[in-house]
A and B are shown apart, each in its own frame.
Chain A
Amino acid sequence: MTSPRGRSDRSLMGLIVLSFFIAASCSESNDVGAAQIKEEHSQEQAPKITAAPKPKEEAERIVCLGGTITETVFALGRGDWVVGVDTSSSHPSTVSGLPKVGYHRAFSAEGVAGLDPTLVLHTEESGSETALEQIEALDLHLHEIPSPYDEDSAVQSIRKIGELLGANDRAEQLIRSLESDLDGVRELVTKNTHRPTVVFLYGRGGGVMMIAGKKTSAQHIIELSGGENPEFDFESYKPFSSEAFIKLDPEYILMMTHGLESVGGKEAVLDLPGVNMTRAGEDEDHIIHIDDLKLLGYGPRMGQAALELFEAIHPELNR
């Protein structure tokens, strides 16, 4: 893998990845941000960071490491306080103009520090550990918001973020809205006894396709939306095999939107060996895709995702 020939192949790949990376990360806001910092520091010789936290009515400068965290902060109306996000933050669309500090599992400590934040929100998956320690040592107010994995943890997450941002009222509003979405779905589900089986497929370009089994976040949202998980005999993810899939014989296939795109769309999925021997392989309508973050982020749009999924698997109820 690291033979001289292999190395030049890798550097070519690296060049291609690099150009995408630059295209994706660089933006005008980046330059504005950097220019801002330069200005700040040329005026003052050495700005001090005060140890005491600022009163909540004053604007914070927040860095969000995690898609759900970013989404929640914006949903709480504090979007204009956000000065930097990680690359997995995709909602709302305005975040594409914000400075990116890297992937949340390997972000740049200096990058975060350079944005001069007063609050850094991260999940238990954020890292590296060294970077977190360094941010901590700089007194930049690190707060861990555990990634939500169901309705209760989603509510807790919103509440905690609301508390940190002094937006408790707004948080309760958001929670009520989420719970009403969820109640709506629950009602629809109880009224409707038909529970079609749904299987979540994780797809990635380059021939990677995996089936989500027990104890996955996908499983939970399927149940919530009135779908039924087939009898899995495995936990977590398992590489797709036509035999395994035929055995499960789901009625619907659920995928993340980006994942579906990366494997070549619905036709590609229908072409997978074994899919056409199941009920899910009947036609394209049996392949459902929902935005990645909305579906598995367990954020404020969780209820909407559940509703979307419910409607997709109950086409007979469509007006």
Chain B
Amino acid sequence: MTTTQAKSEASLQKKPAQQVSELLAGLQRKRKWMLSLFAVGASMSWLIACGLGAFEIAPERVLTIIFAKLQGSLPEELPADAAVLLGIRLPRTLFALVIGAGLGVAGAVLQGLFRNPLADPGLIGVSSGAAAGAVVMLYFTPNMNTQLAGLSADSLTAAGALLGGLTSVFFVYRLSTRAGYTSTVSMLLFGIAINTITGAGIGVFVYAADEARLRSITLWMMGSLASADWRALALTSCVTAACLFSLLRIAEPLNAFTLGEAQAVHLGIPVSTLKRKAILWCTLAVAVGVAFSGMIGFIGLVIPHLSRLILGPDHRAVLPASALLGAALLVLADTLARTVVSPAELPIGLVTSIIGAPFLIFLLMQKKEVTST
């Protein structure tokens, strides 16, 4: 190519640097805009969700009630809609935002870690392990008034799920790590094994369960945000916030990692630490979500896809986008769950599956246009 020959080595033109910085600045701008848009979208979704349900409350009234509460100027005897909003709906919608954000980011990070856009938090065994833990607890707590060590049945189930999720992943991680090196391929394989084992365990309990227990187990497994009280919200928020903070910090090294592990090492990135952090914080974010709300699928799979479709694969954009979109999606899905068969509720896992499955198909069909390497 003549341009190469013609290039004088002494003089470097200013133009290329300018071009590049314009390009990068343009990308940054677009990202900031989209993320702001997503933030606004998530807030709007939340506001709408607060207003919909068995009681319909107009958005302005929602805000009025919230501000009155913050200012402490609510009457002693609350009007019905304020009571429902503050006591039931507010913790629940906030809960949905928090869990949705956690699931979205965890999915995005794991897709980067496994270098596979079809990865989903369930692959490493956290969801099924958490389910197994919860099912065991649900089986052994005969009725809602059981108390053990001062914990209610609900709390026991959540604790069981949390423990189950963390234990599963612990096994998968340890089995896949030799001499300080964690093989992601091994993690996938051991993840399948653990999923099968926990699945079988769950099957045993389901088989042995009587009518009442079976219903409880099935309903739990299909997911529900109904256990959202202020206590659960506080706990989940703290944990998820810690997870989000830690995961956002590994966004940049994750970019290099997705382009090849060897390359990432050559670029000076401590890959083993990266994997450990990614797995730990993703597991925690998902486990705490599953502990309180059962199995909610598809968010960790579909939301990162959507984020990447809009913003490109740079994790510094994809992770925050996945948090915001995941929050928005879950809060809207929960609203559907609460309103479609009112006064009963649909299990949220069902709603996300019904929305998520066709959406995933749609996204995958988009991908067909790009030729793979």
- Judged by a CB distance under 8 angstroms, whether B198 is at the interface is yes
CA distance A124 to B142 in the complex (A): 10
CA distance A108 to B236 in the complex (A): 21
- Judged by a CB distance under 8 angstroms, whether B338 is at the interface is yes
Contact flags (1/0) for B294-306 with A, using CB distance below 8 Å?
A: 0101100000000
Check if B342 sits within 8 Å of A34, measured CB to CB: yes
Check if A110 sits within 8 Å of B79, measured CB to CB: no
Contact flags (1/0) for B334-360 with A, using CB distance below 8 Å?
A: 000010111111100110011011000
Which of B131, B143, B219, B229 touches A106 (beta carbons < 8 Å)? B219
Residues of A within 8 A of B153 (CB): 127-129
Check if A37 sits within 8 Å of B87, measured CB to CB: no
Which of B199, B220, B228, B341 touches A25 (beta carbons < 8 Å)? B341
- Judged by a CB distance under 8 angstroms, whether B77 is at the interface is yes
Check if B341 sits within 8 Å of A3, measured CB to CB: no
- Judged by a CB distance under 8 angstroms, whether A21 is at the interface is yes
Which of B144, B211, B295 touches A124 (beta carbons < 8 Å)? B144
Check if A110 sits within 8 Å of B54, measured CB to CB: yes
Check if B343 sits within 8 Å of A99, measured CB to CB: yes
Contact residues of B: prevailing secondary structure: helix
CA distance A101 to B53 in the complex (A): 13
The smallest beta-carbon distance between A153 and chain B, in angstroms, is 15
- Judged by a CB distance under 8 angstroms, whether A103 is at the interface is yes
Check if A115 sits within 8 Å of B54, measured CB to CB: yes
Residues of A within 8 A of B207 (CB): 208, 239
Check if A7 sits within 8 Å of B227, measured CB to CB: no
Check if A103 sits within 8 Å of B215, measured CB to CB: yes
Check if A134 sits within 8 Å of B87, measured CB to CB: yes
Size range of the chain B interface in the assembly: 35 or more
Check if A204 sits within 8 Å of B214, measured CB to CB: yes
Residues of B within 8 A of A4 (CB): 118, 120
Question: Which residue on chain A has the smallest CB distance to residue B120?
Answer: A4
Check if B84 sits within 8 Å of A138, measured CB to CB: yes
Which A94-116 residues sit within 8 Å CB-CB of chain B? 99-103, 105-106, 108-116
Question: Which residue on chain A has the smallest CB distance to residue B86?
Answer: A137
Check if B232 sits within 8 Å of A130, measured CB to CB: yes
- Judged by a CB distance under 8 angstroms, whether B39 is at the interface is no
Residues of A within 8 A of B128 (CB): 1-2
Check if A48 sits within 8 Å of B88, measured CB to CB: no
Which of B88, B127, B215, B219 touches A109 (beta carbons < 8 Å)? B88
- Judged by a CB distance under 8 angstroms, whether B83 is at the interface is yes
Check if A113 sits within 8 Å of B88, measured CB to CB: yes
The smallest beta-carbon distance between A218 and chain B, in angstroms, is 11
Check if B144 sits within 8 Å of A132, measured CB to CB: yes
- Judged by a CB distance under 8 angstroms, whether A17 is at the interface is yes
Contact flags (1/0) for A1-19 with B, using CB distance below 8 Å?
A: 1111011101100110110
Check if B143 sits within 8 Å of A124, measured CB to CB: yes
The smallest beta-carbon distance between B322 and chain A, in angstroms, is 19
- Judged by a CB distance under 8 angstroms, whether A317 is at the interface is no
Residues of B within 8 A of A32 (CB): none
The smallest beta-carbon distance between A64 and chain B, in angstroms, is 13
Interface contacts beyond A111-B344, A128-B154, A134-B88: sample of 5 additional A-B pairs, CB < 8 Å, sorted by A? A49-B83, A101-B343, A108-B226, A138-B80, A138-B83
Residues in B lying within 8 Å of A, measured CB to CB = 53-56, 77, 79-84, 87-89, 92, 118, 120, 122-123, 127-128, 131, 143-145, 152-154, 192, 195-196, 198-199, 202, 207-208, 210-212, 214-216, 219-220, 222, 224, 226-229, 232, 295, 297-298, 338, 340-346, 349-350, 353-354, 356-357
Residues in A lying within 8 Å of B, measured CB to CB = 1-4, 6-8, 10-11, 14-15, 17-18, 21-22, 25-26, 30, 33-34, 37-38, 41, 46-51, 84, 87, 99-103, 105-106, 108-116, 124-134, 137-139, 202, 204, 208, 210, 237, 239
17 contacts across the A-B interface (CB closer than 8 A): A1-B198, A2-B120, A7-B298, A14-B349, A18-B346, A21-B346, A49-B80, A99-B342, A99-B344, A100-B344, A102-B344, A108-B54, A108-B343, A110-B84, A111-B338, A114-B53, A129-B154
